[in-house]
Structure 1
Amino acid sequence: MHPAAIALVLAAAVAHAGWNLFAKRVPGGGALFVWLTAVCSAAIQLPFAVGAVLLTGEPVEAVWFLAAVVSGVIHTAYFVILQRGYAVGDLSVVYPLARGTGPMLSVAAAIWLFHERPAGLALAGAAAVVLGVWIIGGLGSSGEGSWAGGVGYGILCGTTIATYTLWDAHAVTVFAVSPLILMGGTSIFEAALLAPYALARRADVARIWRENRLAVLAVAVLSPLAYVLVLFALRLAPVSLVAPARELSIVLGSIGAWLLLREPNPARRLAGAVIVVAGVAAIAAA
């Protein structure tokens, strides 16, 4: 993989693990928390998106709107499902399963749909990443009910991750949409989709903002930052390599869940993390 792509993916992993730790701390926020983060994120990203349009000097294409609308729908589903998962399960269950299912489906679809042919070492690394992620997820840590809920939402999240990874990769490569423009537009449509629901519950929105302002702003900044870095990486390396490599965030998220959230079973989760690191190293060497 291109060295710049590796650096981008590593930076994205740090940002991604960070915003998920913040999101987990607001398990009862649901769609209203997602709407607040989308509004703040859109406001933060708008100047960058406009700047990207002005710098390119190219006319705005209709396909850019299509890319942002579809991406906005998929990302909204992802964030809402993720928050629901965090309300019923541990981060160290939901997060690894979501991140593990996503690249597994992404690699398979990239090979099938885009006819990518990654090297054998890269495929072995991708398989190691997926295996490590599932070991980290284990059998849950908060009881039977939490495991059942965590698994269901984790797999649903993984499906949406694979879907938006493939769509957004298509948007920035085939449609040639700037990652800054795509992410800014996506956040705007996320906010628009959830606006009717949020505006009908203004009191709850005000409470969530008052009690969780730091978490809202952290997710609003770190979530698009992590994904923009990935989108730029996709311009330097194929999706079948970038999608699994970004799962290094699983290691950071699992360590954070242990140290900051006090979730148990650190030995098993760190063992899985070592396998993930080995997989990422194999992907980088391919």
Structure 2
Amino acid sequence: MGLLVFYAVITAALLHALWNALVKSGTDKHLSMCAVVLGHMPLAVLILPFVPTPAIESWPYLLAGIGLHIGYQVFLLRSYHAGDLTQVYPIARGTAPLLVAGVSVLFLGVVLHPPELFAIALIGAGILSISLVRQKDGLQNLHAARLAFVTGCFIASYSLVDGLGARLAGTALGFYGWLAIGNGILFAAFTALTSPRVLRDVVVHAKPVFFFGGSASFVAYGLVIWAFTQAPIALVTALRETSIIFALLIGVFFLKEPMNLVKVLATMATLLGAALLRFSKQ
């Protein structure tokens, strides 16, 4: 993986962890999610006049991507209602790179060398192992685990669709700009139907998440979309999920969360996987 792509995805991972920490500090996950998703739209509107229109061949991928992002957001919310963040998040994020790598190799004809496959497996295993840290729901909450796995399937699906679509679009930012707007409109409609109070509360109670969380999330995934056009989608997806390491560090040093042996080992495995990706040859 090239140095520029590597640093772009690592930056995206850090931004992803920062906005997730902001969301985590709130008590209403639907409100926070709504604020972040709607917070994408101002930046999207600002950049679209300055980037090309996506090629027509990419439009089916654009529409599919919008639908998959909505599915991811809905199932993530359902997962958080059913179980703890520390169980749901690692399962959802840890399964995604493994699924993307499997689909890429088996169905898309992507050739990944053994060191790259080993690196992806290390990152996925490192992230998934964090879910072994028992919280109040422990590992007995199989319903939450199933929902988190479905969420991971949505993450894997939109990663593949967005990556292929951005390549066909001929403009990573143009593709993502329209994706963000479509996603924001549909998520606002979903929220208006299921919890209209949340839309009102975004304006009143969630301005920091809307402006800072939404902007950080938009830039983070914009970098990832660009990276999808520069490197194998499986490698970018795996490296992006190192965001959980930044999230752990933020939790330990700023939110005063405990660190234990499982988290240390998971961090080491994930960082080793990231290092292998950096030095792997394509």
TM-score by length of 1: 0.87
- Residue 81 (structure 1) aligns with: 75
2: distance between equivalents of 1:197 and 1:158? 21
What pairs up with 1:1-286 in 2 under 5 angstroms? 1-30=1-30, 33-53=32-52, 61-144=55-138, 147-148=141-142, 150-173=144-167, 175-199=168-192, 202-286=196-280
Deviations 1:137-183 (A, max 9, x none): 2143123488545423321221111001110111122x134221122
2: distance between equivalents of 1:66 and 1:27? 36
Unaligned runs of 5+ in 2: none
264-273 or 117-126, larger mean C-alpha shift: 264-273
The Cα shift of 1:267 comes to: 2.8
Q: Secondary structure at the match of 1:215?
A: helix
36-45 or 60-69, larger mean C-alpha shift: 60-69
1: distance between equivalents of 2:85 and 2:249? 11
Q: Secondary structure at the match of 1:26?
A: coil
The Cα shift of 1:265 comes to: 4.9
Q: Secondary structure at the match of 2:242?
A: helix
2: distance between equivalents of 1:235 and 1:60? 14
One-letter identity of the residue aligned with 2:261: A
2: distance between equivalents of 1:190 and 1:204? 17
Deviations 1:35-79 (A, max 9, x none): 4433331122122122112xxxxx654334433221111112212
C-alpha change, 1:198 and 1:248, in structure 2 (3 Å) is: closer
One-letter identity of the residue aligned with 2:98: M
The answer to whether the 8 Å contact 1:100/1:134 transfers is yes
68-77 or 201-210, larger mean C-alpha shift: 201-210
C-alpha change, 1:28 and 1:123, in structure 2 (3 Å) is: same
1: distance between equivalents of 2:85 and 2:251? 7
C-alpha change, 1:37 and 1:167, in structure 2 (3 Å) is: same
2: distance between equivalents of 1:131 and 1:60? 36
1: distance between equivalents of 2:213 and 2:177? 14
Give identity over the alignment, percent: 23
2: distance between equivalents of 1:27 and 1:110? 37
The answer to whether the 8 Å contact 1:136/1:271 transfers is no
- Residue 56 (structure 1) aligns with: none
1: distance between equivalents of 2:27 and 2:81? 4
C-alpha change, 1:43 and 1:194, in structure 2 (3 Å) is: same
1: distance between equivalents of 2:27 and 2:83? 9
1: distance between equivalents of 2:157 and 2:204? 34
The answer to whether the 8 Å contact 1:68/1:182 transfers is yes
Q: Secondary structure at the match of 2:241?
A: helix
May I ask how many residue pairs the two structures share in their alignment?
A: 279
The Cα shift of 1:83 comes to: 3.2
128-137 or 163-172, larger mean C-alpha shift: 128-137
Unaligned runs of 5+ in 1: 54-58
2: distance between equivalents of 1:194 and 1:136? 30
C-alpha change, 1:80 and 1:188, in structure 2 (3 Å) is: same
The answer to whether the 8 Å contact 2:32/2:209 transfers is no
